[in-house]
Amino acid sequence: MPNTILVSRDGAVGVVQLNRPQVLNALNEEVLTELGDAMRALDEDDSCRCIVLTGNDKAFAAGADIKETFVGATPVSMLAQDLTSKWEVIRKTKKPIIAAVSGFALGGGCELAMICDIIVASETAKFGQPEINLGLLPGYAGSQRLPRLVGRGRALELLLTGAQITAEEAWRIGLVNRVVPAAQLAAEARTLARTLASKPAVAVRYILDAVASGLDMSFADAQDYEATLFGLVATTEDMREGTTAFIEKRKPTFQGR
């Protein structure tokens, strides 16, 4: 039974909540293990079509647990934790993940939000990569994802200064998709999740794949890859249902096949 996270369901939406409020949801090996297990279980559950990842009002996740992760650490002990593979489970989830962020999303917390496909933030959210202030650099691809989301110059300013930015600033530079009042965050994230959950599952999966894989390819290769995925999706029952419903001017009923 998970201790550091809480998992619940809202119909076709899985909700995963970080649950270490006493340390502002700081990330440690136990959290990442349980989080990976929960994501894997929801990913393998065909009745779950979308996942919301959230924290609490004060923090989505305030970063790595400094005492547990770094104090007394050696290269050997850090490698033994194999934290990268735990993050890979989240990154490779085939269903859309919406980060619902309130309060602090710093360091590893910001990186965790960036792994997600869409970020909905409350007005109280604070984002940043403050590792520089500890004599470190991001360890969970923050230096790679941030420039891809906000551009090289803005990313370098945040990485090199360790500055925290507001939700509005994060929205302005393209780090988050939406900013809503804190009281509306959960409802906004779940409404968006239900919308995504209603879409044809196979097409959703391959759109996620096309975008994620294509960003690491040349445009020509990415275009060819998209065409391959298009050909696969064009053979699905959901495609036939969607096109038939369009012609018949009715709402489609997708089965995820």
CA distance 88 to 86: 5
Told to judge if 26 belongs to the known catalytic residues of this protein, a careful annotator would answer no
Q: Which of 34, 131, 188, 226 is catalytic?
A: 131
Told to judge if 131 belongs to the known catalytic residues of this protein, a careful annotator would answer yes
Angle at 26 (CA atoms; ends 191, 172), nearest 5 degrees: 50
Helix (H) or strand (E) holding 83: helix 83-91
- Structure tokens given for 57: 């009002």
Residue 15 pairs with which residues in a beta bridge? 8, 52
CA distance 6 to 13: 14
Amino acid at 195: T
Determine the distance from the C-alpha atom of residue 228 to the mean position of all C-alpha atoms in its chain, rounded to a whole number: 26
Q: Which of 38, 61, 64, 189 is catalytic?
A: 64
Q: Which of 14, 108, 139, 142 is catalytic?
A: 108
Q: Which of 34, 111, 188, 226 is catalytic?
A: 111
Told to judge if 64 belongs to the known catalytic residues of this protein, a careful annotator would answer yes
57 close to 126: Cβ distance less than 8 angstroms: no
- Return all residues near 16 (Cβ < 8 A) that are at least 6 apart: 5, 6, 7, 35, 38, 39, 42, 51, 52, 53, 54
Nearest CA to 117 out of 101, 95, 102 is that of 95
Residues identified as active-site: 64, 108, 111, 131
